[in-house]
Amino acid sequence: MNHELLIALALKKPGTSLRYPFEPDLPVLYVGSKMFALLGHQSGVPSVNLKADPDTIWLMRQTYPDTVLPGYHMNKRHWNTVILNGKLADEELENMLEESYQLVRRNLSKAEKEAIWGPGQ
Protein backbone atom coordinates (compact mmCIF):
# COMPACT_ATOMS: atom_id res chain seq x y z
CA MET A 1 0.00 0.00 0.00
CA ASN A 2 1.20 3.51 -0.75
CA HIS A 3 -0.10 7.08 -0.49
CA GLU A 4 -1.59 7.07 -3.99
CA LEU A 5 -3.64 3.92 -3.34
CA LEU A 6 -4.82 5.21 0.04
CA ILE A 7 -5.93 8.49 -1.52
CA ALA A 8 -7.77 6.65 -4.31
CA LEU A 9 -9.57 4.41 -1.78
CA ALA A 10 -10.51 7.31 0.45
CA LEU A 11 -11.82 9.51 -2.34
CA LYS A 12 -14.41 6.82 -3.18
CA LYS A 13 -16.09 7.49 0.18
CA PRO A 14 -18.94 10.01 0.23
CA GLY A 15 -18.05 13.51 1.37
CA THR A 16 -14.28 13.07 1.13
CA SER A 17 -11.79 15.53 -0.27
CA LEU A 18 -8.03 15.87 -0.57
CA ARG A 19 -6.48 19.09 0.71
CA TYR A 20 -3.06 20.51 1.53
CA PRO A 21 -3.66 22.77 4.56
CA PHE A 22 -0.16 22.48 6.05
CA GLU A 23 2.45 22.02 3.30
CA PRO A 24 2.30 21.28 -0.43
CA ASP A 25 3.82 17.81 0.09
CA LEU A 26 1.60 16.86 3.06
CA PRO A 27 -1.76 15.61 1.74
CA VAL A 28 -4.70 15.41 4.13
CA LEU A 29 -7.95 13.53 3.57
CA TYR A 30 -11.13 15.08 4.92
CA VAL A 31 -14.68 13.94 5.39
CA GLY A 32 -16.70 17.11 5.32
CA SER A 33 -14.70 19.71 7.23
CA LYS A 34 -12.71 17.30 9.41
CA MET A 35 -9.52 15.39 8.67
CA PHE A 36 -9.45 11.61 8.92
CA ALA A 37 -6.07 10.77 7.33
CA LEU A 38 -2.81 12.71 7.29
CA LEU A 39 -0.25 11.32 4.85
CA GLY A 40 3.40 11.91 5.57
CA HIS A 41 6.75 10.22 6.15
CA GLN A 42 8.56 8.80 9.17
CA SER A 43 12.34 8.53 8.76
CA GLY A 44 11.91 8.67 4.98
CA VAL A 45 9.26 5.90 4.88
CA PRO A 46 5.68 6.76 3.83
CA SER A 47 3.17 6.82 6.69
CA VAL A 48 -0.41 7.77 7.43
CA ASN A 49 -2.02 9.09 10.62
CA LEU A 50 -5.46 7.58 11.20
CA LYS A 51 -8.02 8.11 13.93
CA ALA A 52 -8.87 5.03 16.00
CA ASP A 53 -11.16 3.99 18.82
CA PRO A 54 -9.45 4.96 22.09
CA ASP A 55 -10.71 1.75 23.75
CA THR A 56 -8.94 -0.53 21.24
CA ILE A 57 -6.14 1.65 19.85
CA TRP A 58 -3.53 -0.20 21.93
CA LEU A 59 -4.37 -3.53 20.25
CA MET A 60 -3.04 -2.49 16.83
CA ARG A 61 0.04 -0.97 18.44
CA GLN A 62 0.80 -4.23 20.27
CA THR A 63 0.00 -6.43 17.27
CA TYR A 64 2.23 -4.38 14.91
CA PRO A 65 4.80 -2.71 17.22
CA ASP A 66 7.16 -1.52 14.44
CA THR A 67 4.36 -0.46 12.12
CA VAL A 68 1.52 1.06 14.18
CA LEU A 69 2.76 3.78 16.51
CA PRO A 70 1.16 6.49 18.63
CA GLY A 71 0.07 9.34 16.34
CA TYR A 72 2.99 11.57 15.40
CA HIS A 73 2.11 15.20 16.26
CA MET A 74 -1.44 14.04 17.07
CA ASN A 75 -3.47 13.16 20.16
CA LYS A 76 -1.96 9.76 20.94
CA ARG A 77 -5.15 8.59 22.65
CA HIS A 78 -7.10 8.95 19.39
CA TRP A 79 -4.58 8.68 16.53
CA ASN A 80 -2.13 6.08 15.21
CA THR A 81 0.71 6.59 12.79
CA VAL A 82 0.91 3.62 10.43
CA ILE A 83 4.26 3.11 8.72
CA LEU A 84 3.69 1.88 5.16
CA ASN A 85 6.52 -0.64 5.28
CA GLY A 86 4.64 -3.66 3.92
CA LYS A 87 4.32 -5.37 7.32
CA LEU A 88 0.61 -4.58 7.62
CA ALA A 89 -1.77 -6.35 5.24
CA ASP A 90 -3.53 -4.03 2.79
CA GLU A 91 -6.90 -5.30 4.03
CA GLU A 92 -6.01 -4.36 7.62
CA LEU A 93 -4.93 -0.89 6.50
CA GLU A 94 -8.16 -0.48 4.53
CA ASN A 95 -10.10 -1.41 7.69
CA MET A 96 -8.15 1.18 9.67
CA LEU A 97 -8.87 3.81 6.99
CA GLU A 98 -12.59 2.95 7.13
CA GLU A 99 -12.61 3.14 10.94
CA SER A 100 -10.96 6.56 10.84
CA TYR A 101 -13.48 7.79 8.26
CA GLN A 102 -16.45 6.51 10.30
CA LEU A 103 -15.17 7.92 13.61
CA VAL A 104 -14.70 11.36 12.10
CA ARG A 105 -17.94 11.21 10.12
CA ARG A 106 -19.83 10.46 13.32
CA ASN A 107 -18.64 13.74 14.84
CA LEU A 108 -19.70 16.03 12.02
CA SER A 109 -22.50 18.46 12.75
CA LYS A 110 -26.04 17.45 11.84
CA ALA A 111 -26.15 20.16 9.15
CA GLU A 112 -22.92 18.95 7.60
CA LYS A 113 -24.08 15.30 7.63
CA GLU A 114 -27.34 16.25 5.94
CA ALA A 115 -25.50 18.33 3.31
CA ILE A 116 -23.35 15.31 2.41
CA TRP A 117 -25.68 12.30 2.91
CA GLY A 118 -29.13 13.87 2.92
CA PRO A 119 -31.81 14.32 5.58
CA GLY A 120 -31.89 11.93 8.51
CA GLN A 121 -28.17 11.22 8.56
Q: Please report the pLDDT score of residue 88 as a whole number.
A: 94
Cut 0.85: pTM above it? yes
Pairing of strands 34-42, 16-19: unpaired
C-beta separation of 69 from 61 below 8 A: yes
- Mean pLDDT over 86-105 rounds to 96
Confidence of residue 47 (pLDDT cuts 50, 70, 90): very high
How much of the chain, in percent, has pLDDT values that exceed 70? Answer: 99
Task: Give the containing element (helix H, strand E) for 69.
Answer: strand 68-70
3-class DSSP state for residue 53? Answer: coil
Predicted confidence at residue 121, as pLDDT, reads 67
What pLDDT score does 75 carry? 86
pLDDT at 74: 87
Mean pLDDT throughout 86-111? Answer: 96
Q: How confident is the model at residue 73 (pLDDT cuts 50, 70, 90)?
A: confident
Residue 38 has pLDDT above 90, yes or no: yes
